Structure 1
Amino acid sequence: MYADADIPTEVQRALTNFLDIQAERLAEIGPELAEPVQAARDATAGGKRLRPSFCYWGFRAAGGDTGQPILTAAASLEMLHVSALVHDDVMDSSDVRRGAPAAHRRFEALQRARSANSGRGGDPVGFGVGAAILLGDLCLIWADEMLHTSGFDAAALARASKFFDAVRVEVTAGQYLDLVAQASGEADMDRALRVLRYKSATYTVERPLHIGAALAGADQLLIDALSTYGLPLGEAFQLRDDLLGVFGDPTVTGKPAGDDLREGKRTVLTAYAVEHASEVQLAEFDRLFGRRDLDDDEIQLLREILQDSRAVQACEDLITDKTEDALAALDRAPIEDENVRKALADLVVAATSRHL
């Protein structure tokens, strides 16, 4: 049995133990496979552990008891998260993730070093991208394996699998919507809101709650109540993340300042700015947004446009509204354990109150 306060520690323990087993399995194929295993170890170390926490407290909300099966099952969502991050960084050509080289840059550097030592070898950039795609695929497979070997019986796993399958489809669909948005070069508020929901909100909060609750045998009344709490909270979380992607401290976010501006992320924040900027501001925004070579002064100019158009304030207002919706839903939810209710209220703060 484990204390609730040990969730991050026990999730990390579950990930470490699982990857120890995978390292032994892959070593039988060849020593080269040590590289992706180590990359997975590094990628699953640290982080906010929000998804496992929502899964755990969804389980507790449905009357589940503490113990290793739920912690291992919850850890599978961290493995799923790493899969999504690795693939996302490839698609966005991001250089940094959590203060370290993104996976494709890491593999690129490995191949570059091998080529330098041997005097021959293939394209480091192509190798890095290919290896990262495979790492993301491995983590996606491992997420499924972690859930299904967590220790729950077949009936519980069947209930949870419906939601686990749904979240994998939704996050992939949301990622595609994000690609379409960036490729279009147009600000589309409706599409930005759909990306917000399916790439992040359902995947970060709602479905982890559902998976945990289903493992404990939750009825439909509780599942629906968790959605009413989880969807607005997930959207508020992503709105905060979008603000951090533009204004956040790199030592906190783990990514270079203004990286989302260089990548041309078509978020609710930028869609609002385009809709409300003056003609002069819009011309400057179109000239600069999405340019990889933006310097600090140009990033600051884009930030000023986002502020002057009131896009930043609009996102802050949305965060406030959605946070209040989540808390109101939590008050109405059929959750008997006041410790669980308090933990879910604390997660509202953890998800939305990160500072710029």
Structure 2
Amino acid sequence: MSAPPRETVDTAPVDAALAGFFADGTRHLVGAEHTQLWAALRDASAGGKRLRPMLFHSVYLALGGRQTDVAARVGASLELLHTALVVHDDVIDGDTVRRGRPNVVGTFAADARERGHDAERATHYGQSAAILAGDLALAGAVRGIALCGAPPDTVERMLDLLDRALHLSAAGELTDVRLSLDGEADIPAVISMEHQKTAVYSFELPLQLAAVLGGADAEHESALTRFARLLGIGYQLRDDLDGMFGEESATGKSTVSDLREGKCTPLIAFARTTPAWAHIHPYLVSGVIDDADAARVRTLLEECGARAYVEGLAADLDREAREAVAHLPEARLLDEWARTVSRGARAA
């Protein structure tokens, strides 16, 4: 993803809060496996662009917020939430690599193979470790907000928002798996899933937390939430486009994995309504797709208009997002964020 707006580039307070979280956690370590698990979780949280904490913190400051220590702890909680969800997502998707290096699954599976275990047992060990690591990160995210130092009524409101985000993200993840399993969904159903799975925790939650901690009124918070929903769905649409048409070296994402998994993206949902579907569908149900097959599907998706449709939809959502907050004092900052997100969907 492109660099965030200039006002948001300082991640040092969040990094310090995360370092404190991992340092504090060492007091609970009880053995070699536990120590390795904690280290793997720490590694999983490193190297990202801190999109969610920076989005939260930049808007919090624009709203007049000045509790920098509190904001740093909330920002760290957002990053821990993101880490937890992507670690669990890797288990769901069967991935062993993230950000160009072995993820938690890959790290522990490799360790098991080095100790002589077969691939199936090694994978089970790796996935078990990832589930547990994600659970620890989720607990850390909740604890971070609960102990952030804000007034009790503010903390309660923020925990309610976190709870909502967790519920909707879980619903979106499971719906994503079901849609791929059933192989049938229309565009509104896929868009709803992508809203729940990505937009809620990555965009709505950071801006809602900024609004609550920054003392914004209900109307202001509502406008920020609408902006975040539209921007987040557009973000995910571009992620889908990158996953199909992007360069792997730039996106860090395989351009055949979505096809192999039978992912029901808006590209696929649109193609299902066109004559090209008769030619695309056999590739999806085969479960075995090579680079040549993927190239053929990409050509069909372009010829049937699926790519142009999704690109246009993402652009429309970006425009609507800007319009939703054009009347707010922080509209310029939000416009910068919208342009940043639209320039590149991939954010670790």
Decide: shared fold, TM above 0.5: yes
Q: Note the alpha carbon deviations across 1:83-138, whole angstroms, 9 max, x for none.
A: 1111111111123222122322221111112337xxx9992121111111111111
Quick one: distance in 2 between partners of 1:202 and 1:69?
22
Match of 1:11 among 14, 23, 27: 14
1:102 correspondence with 2:103: yes
SS of 1:151's equivalent in the other structure is coil
Quick one: distance in 1 between partners of 2:27 and 2:120?
27
* 8 Å Cα contact 1:247-1:303 kept in structure 2: yes
Cα distance change on mapping 1:185 and 1:355 into 2, 3 Å: closer
Match of 1:301 among 293, 296, 309: 296
Quick one: distance in 2 between partners of 1:316 and 1:15?
36
Aligned to 2:260: 262
1:342 correspondence with 2:345: no
Structure 1: which 5+ runs fail to align?
A: none
The TM-score with structure 1 as length reference comes to: 0.89
The TM-score with structure 2 as length reference comes to: 0.91
Aligned to 2:344: 354
Match of 1:25 among 24, 27, 47: 27
Quick one: distance in 2 between partners of 1:290 and 1:208?
38
Quick one: distance in 2 between partners of 1:248 and 1:17?
37
1:229 correspondence with 2:227: yes
SS of 1:289's equivalent in the other structure is helix
Aligned to 2:92: 91
Q: Percent identity?
A: 33
Structure 2: which 5+ runs fail to align?
A: 1-5
- Taking the TM superposition and a 5 Å limit, the aligned residue runs for 1:34-45 are 34-45=35-46
Letter in 1 for 2:40: A
SS of 2:273's equivalent in the other structure is helix
Return the offset for 1:10: 2.7
Aligned to 1:212: 210
SS of 1:150's equivalent in the other structure is coil
Match of 2:246 among 245, 248, 252: 248
Q: Note the alpha carbon deviations across 1:174-204, whole angstroms, 9 max, x for none.
A: 1111111111122432320111111111221
Quick one: distance in 2 between partners of 1:7 and 1:153?
25
Quick one: distance in 2 between partners of 1:141 and 1:236?
29
Aligned to 1:313: 308
SS of 2:65's equivalent in the other structure is coil
SS of 1:7's equivalent in the other structure is coil
Return the offset for 1:33: 1.2
Q: Note the alpha carbon deviations across 1:291-314, whole angstroms, 9 max, x for none.
A: 553211111011111111111111
Return the offset for 1:168: 0.8
* 8 Å Cα contact 2:190-2:265 kept in structure 1: yes
* 8 Å Cα contact 1:323-1:352 kept in structure 2: yes
SS of 1:123's equivalent in the other structure is helix
Quick one: distance in 2 between partners of 1:67 and 1:351?
25
Letter in 1 for 2:280: F
Return the offset for 1:285: 1.3
Letter in 2 for 1:60: L
Return the offset for 1:206: 1.4
Match of 1:137 among 130, 135, 144: 135
